[in-house]
Chains A and B, each alone.
Chain A
Amino acid sequence: MFAAKKLVLAHFWVAFAGFLLAILLGEWQMYVRSPLHAWVNNPEHYYRSVTAHGTVMAYVMPTLVAMGFGYAITELSLKRPLIGVRWAWAGFWLVVAGTVIAAATVAAGRASVLYTFYPPMIASPFYYIGVVLVVVGSWIWVALMSINLHAWRKANPGATVPLAMFGNVTGAYLWAWTSVGAAVEVLLLILPAALGLKSTIDAGLSRVFFSWTLHAIVYFWLMPAYIAFYSIVPRAIGGRLYSDTMARVAFVLFLVFSMPIGMHHLFADPQVGAGFKFVHAAMTAMVSVPTLLTIFTITASVEIAGRLRGGTGVLGWVKALPWDNPVMLAVTFSFVMLGFGGAGGIINMSYQLNETVHNTQWVTGHFHLIFGGAIVIMYMVIAYELWPQLTGCAPLRGGAVKVQLWLWFIGMLVLTMPWHLVGLLGMPRRMAYYDYSNPVLQPQAWTVTMSTVGGLVLVVSTVLFVYILARARRVDPAPAPFTFSLAAHAGERTPAALNTFGLWVAMMIGLTIVNYGYPIAQLAMLKETSVPVIQIGGP
């Protein structure tokens, strides 16, 4: 790498430091509401903790990982120094400053509104300003990704953009458009109320704007993991990428379909019409297509590795896979969790089935399994794979790495499976305590203890993860240069549509206008839809 080593390291370290603190908060939340602890006396402390946990895990950590990984991909795949390193540092410091401001406000008890904001609850304006700074910092990254790609195109006319960079810029464009919804909500609706300029807020319209961001942000989190599936996993386990074209199709499908589907978070909201809810549910089903394509392509790529290692027969290649390779373990764990989480997600997005699980622990189980599990385990792989490039250490493939990945997998299943179960039984989410003395709830008490144990395993895994990264030392000779996966049919011509973004960005924006235009215009024009704000944490 050329110019961005320190930059990428800084992003990753802040991301993982926040990750470590936030996971401790998460475990504390599980502990105080489990039968192992008396009811927490002040539920506000619980919601303060949930807000901090969510803000760091949803906004700060994945944004920094995506940014850091994006800078690394730019240099490693385009094989030239990053343009705009100073701007990148400015973006980084904006994210850090925003995080500190938001975290301090939450810690002071002035912003226990949860990271999803939930108007008419209104927190101290500093919380929203902090979140806005994080997003603005990430917009600098979006611009730099675009600028670097264009500069590279100019220098290499007609060449095919490397797959990792193509995915990276897809993620950047996705995030740019995705974050507009929450930005509009915060700037036009929430901040005027938080600053005391208005005493009412249109909660329904706010929630519609947030849904614009709320679901697509998930695919922004997911993009680094998918880039790793396609461009790191096949190489790391000694195989070939089955299809470069399929990978690009999956990326652009995310761009088109991840945006205009957020209203499946509003199935229980009265302000949105049933017709739009159905259309969003149908489009949500479409997002499973790129994920299914990915599972097929990566499994095929893994099969190539198994057969190259001498595996034969229908399943013989599975036995021949390099099971002592941490990347092999991680991608397996990730797919198992993606399978359960994805199946659960299809239940959530179904207009009718959602009624049975809406706002229950099932939902918490779903997004922890699919984000905390399937995606974050790939963030860990990304860190392990990049670390030798960033610090000059030897490849991180030892026993400790494997133990760490195993613990993450087991911990995540033990945490989330009980949540799924009790969610079906109707246990509500976001509760500071449950009344276990009640005979109706008593039989479910063990599940909360179980999840607490799962959380503890995740804490141990995280500590080990940070320890492994911190212990890495420079070695001689310097590690081999980083490489991305090679496609099975290298040198195949890439269709122009899959080498550029114009068509897909246009489709993304067009579909958003079709799916969101009318509901937003209608709610914005309706009179008397605002409600008094509820200040959280005192005036």
Chain B
Amino acid sequence: MENGDRIAWGNPWVRWSIVWLFVLTVGAFLVGFVLLPSVHRDYTAGGIWLAICRAAGLPSNWAPPPRRESEKGATSVVLLPAMTTRGSSDAIGRGATLALQQCSMCHGAQGLSEANAPNLAGQYPEVIIKQLQDYKRGDRGGSFMLQISRNLSDRDIEDVAAYYDSLPKARTAPARYDEATAPALVRVGDPLRNIAPCIACHGGTDHKLGAPWLEGMPKEYLVVQLRDFQTGTRRNDSHAQMRNMTREMTAAETEQVADFYARRPKEGDGK
């Protein structure tokens, strides 16, 4: 049998294919890992071996250093899907007792505020957990809430959240967020200013973990929060999501959006 008929090193097809593939691969690696890094000073500052490691994607320090103590006001709560589960009747009962003692003065006996504090009835449990934890750790400001949250254990917080989750919401969402009822910012946002639609996270088209239920909230509360996000007074939104959304919003838009979410059903709306 001739050499050319066997798949072996002696077969020139085999030999040259392997040699060329080897040369090509080694060449590509030399260019990518040695030659190209050599023209970037930051790559080569630590010597050739470090440059190769960086080109391979080896992180010198993968995880960011722990947050500095001085950086107050950014949230450290990790939201987990497990937080969204409905609480047991025990938890709801304990939460109801706690809520009656400590929350109802401002947030209303049934979680519907008469004092421009946010409604909590029907609020998602992970939202209440996150906000109370933020207050407790000093990441969200507010003289009353700082004092109250300080004395709540993690268990207390989960129970209160379970209780409010069990109450009926102030207002259910309209069946459609259409042009007639919802402002453009709520429905479709403003892509060119990087403002996402409210309903993409706060319910309507989608609900994202950690985004509160807003329907029926007191208008004054919403306006103050939006402005606080805008000015950076409030900074406990993860990844600065709300600060980025509100940065470009005008005062009139803030009013309009708050107005929409605060709107109570009119007489005869039938809901």
Interface positions of A (Cβ within 8 A of B) = 38-39, 41-44, 196, 199, 256, 271-279, 282-283, 286, 431, 433-435, 438, 440-441, 495-498, 500, 502-503, 507, 511, 514, 518-519, 522, 526-529, 532-535, 538-539
Contact = CB atoms under 8 A, between A and B. Distances in A.
A273 B81 contact: no
A283 B191 CA distance: 37
Nearest to B21: A507
A538 B208 CA distance: 9
Interface string B107-133: 000000000000000000000000000
Interface residues of B, number: 50
A532 B79 contact: yes
B242 interface: no
10 closest pairs, A vs B, by CB?
A: A273-B57, A275-B55, A278-B32, A497-B13, A282-B28, A275-B33, A275-B32, A273-B56, A279-B28, A496-B5
A496 B190 CA distance: 63
B7 A271 contact: no
Given A507-B18, A535-B81, A42 B7 contact: no
Contacts of B11: 496-497
B55 A507 contact: no
Contacts of A433: 188, 191
Given A275-B52, A532-B78, A503 B209 contact: no
Interface string B196-211: 0100100001111100
Given A199-B82, A282-B32, A528 B17 contact: no
B62 interface: yes
Given A534-B209, A539-B81, 20 more contacts: A39-B188, A41-B187, A44-B205, A199-B80, A199-B82, A273-B56, A274-B32, A276-B55, A278-B28, A435-B192, A440-B192, A497-B13, A497-B17, A503-B17, A511-B25, A519-B56, A528-B62, A528-B63, A532-B78, A533-B81
B176 interface: yes
Interface of B: 4-7, 11, 13-14, 17-18, 21, 24-25, 28-29, 31-33, 36-37, 52, 54-59, 62-63, 78-82, 84, 176-179, 187-188, 190-192, 197, 200, 205-209
Nearest to B56: A273
A41 B178 contact: yes
A527 B17 CA distance: 40
6 contacts: A43-B188, A276-B57, A435-B191, A496-B11, A497-B11, A522-B58
B179 A38 contact: yes
Contacts of A535: 81
Nearest to A526: B62
A334 to B, nearest CB: 29
Contacts of B29: 275, 279
Contacts of A500: 7
Contacts of B80: 199, 532
- Residue from A41, A271, A440, A538 whose CB has the most chain B CB atoms within 10 Å: A41
A527 B31 CA distance: 30
B57 A275 contact: yes
A497 B55 contact: no
Nearest to A433: B188
Given A275-B32, A278-B28, A431-B191, A44 B206 contact: yes
B200 A43 contact: yes
A38 B32 CA distance: 48
A440 B11 CA distance: 63
Nearest to A439: B192
Contacts of B81: 196, 199, 532-533, 535, 539
Nearest to A158: B5
A276 B32 contact: yes
A537 to B, nearest CB: 8
A500 B24 CA distance: 23
Nearest to A500: B7
A279 B32 contact: yes
B105 to A, nearest CB: 34
Contacts of A519: 56-57
A273 B188 contact: no
Contacts of A539: 81, 84
A496 B21 contact: no
Nearest to A40: B188
B221 to A, nearest CB: 27
Contact of B58 (A199, A256, A273, A282): A273
A438 B188 CA distance: 14
A86 to B, nearest CB: 33
A42 B207 CA distance: 13
A228 B25 CA distance: 31
A446 to B, nearest CB: 18
A534 B208 contact: yes
A374 B4 CA distance: 36
Contacts of B55: 273-276, 278
